[in-house]
Structure 1
């Protein structure tokens, strides 16, 4: 075998091994946000790209997965929450509360309890197909309202045409993303066996027909699949939502490796504290262990887990 052929053969093995290792759903919400930044939305934040889901604004990346919004780029006007309007947040298009309400852990202690005790909830919450960057204020206003049309709601975000009807608890996304919103809902309800009202089904089927997948939605689906190995079949067209649709519930079959997985560490139980802004981790005996802002804490069970996530040990920590 020539040296050139050998190099190609070794490179092929390395590629296959890397690809296989990369496939798999992120274990938790924090991992999902970072993967979305690094592998999916890395080029969608500036220069006329897709921008934020509901308003199409540009942003500048900050920290591990956050961002500062360029409000002028989309003519956004702050409604009431200037601090949240200035930052990027990751929206669960199908709200986490809708996912949790079908889990026993939610009844026992809500979202945090589910994160600590239910591996399947963590996978559902971290499903990358269901997450997109949005302006924090719009994320707060949307809350867990259902999608719909809000003709009575005033235009409240400047040139951003998404609207919130607080009285009827309805959120109307801008036209450019209505089809995407519909197909994300199809995917999540089908995969995790969620109930969808007839009214919502009719609306989403209308949006799906009126706004077929565009270039970015197809590319987004491709990128997420390259990370997780999981396609949104309602984007790729391999599955269709019809009246009387029966959910596949494929996502409720927990992967064998995750069935007995220890609960994820939390900020209060973690032995190792990572700082998502500095990408540095601290041990309990480190001088700055207690100084990490709780909002910036990324908890780890071990130093090895922290290093695997790309964090380095604090220099002042022996």
Structure 2
């Protein structure tokens, strides 16, 4: 029997700009969104990789579309079956098409972190060249984007009723220590224009403390 995940409505408000604080309702074809909107629009002129901040001009074979809230965990939460089966599930397709959860990531890193849980690992674990700490099934992102990760996690949990992939107090602390910077705000505005909805935890970071 499939689990039914409710959609919180507390933050589902219509803004004066015409944007919605709530779920993605514009897109429901993940493959097309990745090709046309993510790489073809949002990163059409290149950018920097999310975790390592490495500049790129085109996608090439080194980069891939990563998901801060991994798609495998979304499938597990929805209990929609295998990858092929979930692609037939409209709910999964809608969530998997959400640009707020997509980031450009180097292929090798994305393969390593797909099943990891976010956590503070401490100084006993050495950082790699990107400022990442990893240990078994745990993953600590670089300091400069911990808030970005936290605010995306809060958005996915609150908007789609998904479970947190780590301890909520850790994410709240990350959001407090790493408030939205110009790069995050610029990216957020572009996604809101393309997709038609905001991530309220970026525009109002204090909201995460209410969850």
Q: TM-score range by the shorter chain?
A: 0.7 to 0.9
Name the structure 2 match of 1:237.
Answer: 204
Instruction: Give the structure 2 partner of residue 52 of structure 1.
Output: 49
Residue pair 2:133, 2:140 contacting (<8 A) in 1 also:
yes
Greater relative contact order structure (CA < 8 Å, 6+ sep): 2
Match of 1:174 in 2: 142
- Say if 2:134 is the partner of 1:164: yes
- Cα separation, 2, equivalents of 1:26 and 1:149: 34
**Secondary structure of residue in 2 paired with 1:122:** helix
Equivalenced residues, count: 187
In the TM superposition, residue 30 of structure 1 has moved relative to its aligned partner by 1.5
1:266-277 residue pairs with structure 2 within 5 A? none
- Contact between 1:141 and 1:164, CA under 8 Å: does it hold in 2? no
**SS of alignment partner, residue 91 of structure 1:** strand
Task: Let me know the Cα RMSD of the aligned residues.
Answer: 2.2
C-alpha deviation, 1:242, in angstroms: 2.2
* Equivalent position SS for 2:60: strand
Q: Which residue number in structure 1 is paired with residue 125 of structure 2?
A: 153
> Structure 1 length normalisation: TM-score?
0.55
Moved over 4 A (4+): none
The question of 1:67 aligning with 2:60 is answered yes
Instruction: Give the 3 Å change call, closer, same or farther, for CA 88–148 of structure 1 in structure 2.
Output: same
In structure 1, the partner of 2:96 is 125
**1:33-65 Cα deviation digits (max 9, x unpaired):** 2201233223442xxxxx10110112241xxxx
State the 1:200 CA deviation: 1.6
Asked if structure 2 preserves the Cα contact closer than 8 Å seen for 1:182 and 1:208, the reply is yes
- Indicate whether 1:144 and 2:103 are aligned: no
Contact 2:150–2:174, Cα closer than 8 Å, also in 1: yes
Residue aligning to 2:171: 204
Stretches of structure 1 lacking an aligned partner (at least 5 in a row): 1-22, 46-50, 69-86, 246-318
Q: SS state of the match for residue 105, structure 1?
A: coil
Distance change in 2, residues 1:239/1:150 (3 Å): closer
Indicate the SS of the match to 2:64.
strand
Residue aligning to 1:31: 32
Q: CA deviation at 1:147?
A: 0.9
1:90–1:133 CA contact under 8 A, matched in 2: yes
3-state SS in 1 of match to 2:95:
helix
Unaligned runs of 5+ in 2: 1-23
SS at 1:102 equivalent: helix
Give TM-score scaled by structure 2 length. Answer: 0.80
